[in-house]
Amino acid sequence: MLGDFFKKKQEVNTLESSENRYRRIFEAAQDGILLLDFQSGKIIDVNKFLIDMLGYTKDEFLTKHVWEVGLFKNEDEQKENFAILQEKGYVRFENLPLETKDGRHINVEFVANAYKEAAGTVIQCNIRDITDRVKLEETYKISELRYRRLFETAQDGILILDFSTGLITDVNKFLIDMLGFTKEELLTKHLWEVGLFKNEAEQKENFNTIQEKGYVRFENLPLETKDRKPINVEFVANSYQVNGTTVIQCNIRDITDRVKAEIKVKWLASFPDQDTSPILEMEREAGITYVNPVAAALFPEIGDLKMSHPYVNESEKYFRELNDTDKRVERREIQINGRWYLQDIKFISPDRLRIYGHDITDLKNIEYKLASGKSFNDAILASVDEAVIVCDKGGKINLFNKIAEKLSGVSAIEAIGVQYNEILKLVRESDGAIYSEFASKVIAENRVIRLEKQTLLVNKNGTKTPVAGSASPIPGIGGPAYGCVFAIYDATREHDIDKAKTEFVSLASHQMRTPLTAINWYSELLQSVKYLASVEKRGQFAQEINIASKRMSALVNSLLNVSRLEMGTFTIEPKMVNPVEIAKLNLETLRLQIENKHLTLKEEYDPNANSFPGDPNLLEIIFQNLLTNAVKYTPVGGDVTLAIKRENGLLNIIVSDTGVGIPQKDQDKIFEKLFRSDNVKSIDPGGSGLGLYIIHEIVKNSGGNIRFESEEGKGSTFYVTFPMTGMVKKKGDNKII
C-alpha cells in the first residue's frame, strides 16, 4: 500500500512538473496561442503574446467565440471553417487579415490543430504576425514590377544570363526587335548560339572573364541579325545577385549609325590631297609635317615661317587642351591676308594634330551685312512710339518691338512664334467683341485696315488699354501678301478726352435744363400783357431771372472745372499764402446767411498755420465749398466750426457742423460726380452734386487727403490735410475757377 502511495505521488509530481513546463512554454511563446473548446469554439485560454498582439484583455478573450474578438469576423463563413476543423482536425491560413482592438490592420499566419487531453478534445490555434513579411513581399512585388517596366521599355537591348552556364533566361522586347529573333528562339540558348560571340572558343573565354571579374565591355562588337544583316553594338555585361542567385545582365546598344559616320570621317580624312580646303599636319616636336596643295598655294610663306605662321600659331595650346580633355576637335576663326578661315583642329595622337581650314570670308561679309541691317532696323524700331508687330501669312509673330512688349505685358521671347491673336487681344469697348481675324482680313484683302474707334487691348494681366492704329499687308513679289505689320499706339489720352467731352455734353445738357427753364419761363411772364402794369411782379420776375442766370453761370464754371479735372488740363501753382486769411474772406461772404440762421460760428486758428505753399485759387474753392455746405445744411440755431492747424508736418483744415448729416447708406458715394443724398434735396433743390466731387479731385491731385465723419441728424466733419511742404505743382492749360 505504501509503495502504491509513493508511486501515485510520483505520478502527480511528474504531471505537475509537465504542466508547469507546458505553461512556461505557452506563456513565453513568440507566437500567439489560443485554446478553443472543440465542440463550441469558445476560447478557453490565451497566451500573453496574443493579448499584446491584438490588444484585448484576457477576460475579453475568455468565454467568447473565436470570431467574436477580431478573428474570423464573417461568422457564417467561419462557422463553416470551424466545422471543417472539427471534421479534419486541422486548418491553415497562409495570410489572414486581422484587425486589432484599436483598429490597426495586421496580417497573420493561422494554424489550428485538434488534439485530445485528459479532459477532452481541444483546439490549439497558433497565430504568427507576418505583417512585416507581407509588406516586404508587397515592396518586392512593386520593385519587381518597376524593374519589369524598365526592362521592357528600355531603349537598349537587355539579356539576362545564368551565371554558371551562360544560358539566356530573359530578354527584352528592344533586343528581340533589334536582332529579329523570337523570344522563344533566344531563351534556353547560349549567348554565342544566337548571333552573339560566334567564335565559340574565344567567347567562352570572354564569358569566363565575366564570371571571374563580374564585368566586361566591348566598345564596338560586330553582330549579325536573324536575317543576316550586319550591325555594330556596344556590349556591357555585369553580374549581380538576385534573391541569392547570381545572374549576368548584358546591355546591348546599336551603334551602327555612329560607326558608319566614324568610318565616313576616317575615309574623308584619308584624302587631304584631293580636298579643296587648306589642310596640314604637325607634330609636337617636328613641327609641320604635311601641307596639302591648297594650303601650299594659299600660304607659300608657311615653309619659311614654320610654326610661327598665323595658320598654325598657338599649336602648343591645342596639343595641351586636346590631350588633357576628352575633346578630340577644337574650333577657331582666324583672319589671314584679309580672308577669314574656320579651323577644325583635330586630335590624331598625343603628339600629332591635323588642321582643316574652311574659307568663310563670304559668310563673314554676309553676317556683317545682316548684323548691320539688323542694328539699323532695331534702332528704327526702338525710336518709334508705336507698338510694331510683324506676323507671317499664317498669323505667327516674327517681330515684336519694345513698345509692343510694354502694351501687351508679353516679352518678345514669349511672343515670337505665337499666333498674333493669342498675344494681341483686341476687343471692341462697346460690346466686348473680339477682333480675332484682323490680320487674316488684312492679308486676304491685301489692304491697310485701321482699328475701329474705342478699341481696347487686353494685356497679359487682363488690363484694358485704349489703342489706335492700323495693320498693313506685307506685299509679295507679284502675288498676294505674305504677312502683316501692326502699328498700334496707346490712345488712353484721346480716349479719356473723348469720354470727358461726351460726359461734359451730357452733364451740361442735364444740369442747365433747370436754370434755362426758369429763365425762359420768367422771360415769357415779363412779356405777358397780364403783368405789364404790375411793377412789383415784373421786379420779382427779373429777380428770378437774375438768380437763374447766376446759378447757370456757377454751373458752367463747375462743369468746366469737372472737364479740366477729368482731362488733367488744369494748373496747380503753389506759392506762399495764408490759409487763415483765405478762409476768413470766404466766411465774410457767408456772414449774412450765418446771422439770418442764428448759427454759432466757432473759429480755431493755429498761429503756426499762417504760411503755406498752396495755390490760393484752389484753396479758396476748397474753403468755399466746405463752408457753404456747412452753413446751407445746418438748421437755425446750429453750430459751424472752422479749425486750421499745423500738426505733425501737416496742414489740417477741419470744417464741422451740426447739420442734417449724411445717411450711412450714402457715405461711400459722397465724392461721386452728381451724387446728392435725398435728405438735402428738399433743402436745396437746385444743387448740382459737383462741389464735393471737385474739391475731392483738387485735393487728390495736389498731394493732399480728404475724409469725413458724419451721422444723419447730428452733423458732419470734413478733414482736409496737406503736407507742410505744400501742394504739388502741376503744369496745365487752364485754371480751376
Question: Across the chain, what does the average pLDDT equal?
Answer: 80
Longest alpha-carbon distance in the chain: 168
Question: What H or E segment, with its residue span, contains residue 422?
Answer: helix 420-423
Name, in order, each residue with C-beta under 8 angstroms of 529's C-beta and a sequence gap of 6 or more.
none
Where is average pLDDT lowest: 456-460, 505-509, 685-689? 505-509
Q: What percentage of the chain exceeds 70 in pLDDT?
A: 79
Four-way CATH pick for 271-363: 3.30.950.10, 3.30.750.24, 3.40.50.410, 3.30.450.20: 3.30.450.20
Q: Quick one: average pLDDT of 143-168?
A: 79
Burial (CB count within 10 angstroms: exposed 0-12, middle 13-18, buried 19+), residue 142: exposed
Q: Average pLDDT, stretch 703-725?
A: 95
Q: Count the alpha carbons within 13 Å of 538 in the hemisphere toward its beta carbon.
A: 10
- Beta strand 287-291 with 279-283 is antiparallel
Residues 575-617: tens digit of each pLDDT: 999 999 999 988 988 888 899 999 999 999 999 999 999 998 8
CA distance 80 to 75: 9
**What is the helix (H) or strand (E) element at residue 536, kind and residue range?**
helix 535-567
For 568-723, the fitting CATH number among 1.10.3720.10, 3.40.50.1470, 1.10.10.10, 3.30.565.10 is: 3.30.565.10
CATH class of 20-129: alpha beta
129 grid coordinates: 504576425
Residue 91 main-chain phi, psi, to 5 deg: -150, 150
644 forms beta bridges with 605, 653
Distance, in Å, from the CA atom of 610 to the CA atom of 576, rounded to the nearest integer, reads 9
When comparing pLDDT for 709 and 201, which is higher?
709
**One fold for both 143-260 and 568-723?**
no
CATH code of 143-260, in short, is 3.30.450.20
In the chain, what are the domain boundaries? Answer: 20-129, 143-260, 271-363, 384-563, 568-723
Closest CA to 692 of 703, 708, 681, 678: 708
In contact, 333 and 343? CB cutoff 8 Å: yes
| Placement of cell 482736409 in the chain | 720
The share of the chain scoring above pLDDT 90, in percent, equals: 13
pLDDT digits (tens, 9 = 90+) for 643-673: 999 999 999 999 999 999 999 988 888 888 7
Residue 13 host element (H or E): helix 2-28
Q: How far is CA 511 from CA 387, 504, 594, 654, in A?
A: 41, 10, 28, 30
Question: What one-letter code names the amino acid at 281?
Answer: E
Q: Are 691 and 625 in contact (CB under 8 A)?
A: yes
* Residue given cell 492700323 in the structure block: 470
- Judged by phi (left if over 0) then psi (alpha if -120 to 50, else beta), residue 322 lies in alpha
What's domain 384-563's architecture?
A: 2-Layer Sandwich (3.30)
Quick: pLDDT tens for 34-70.
888 888 878 888 988 988 888 888 888 887 777 776 5
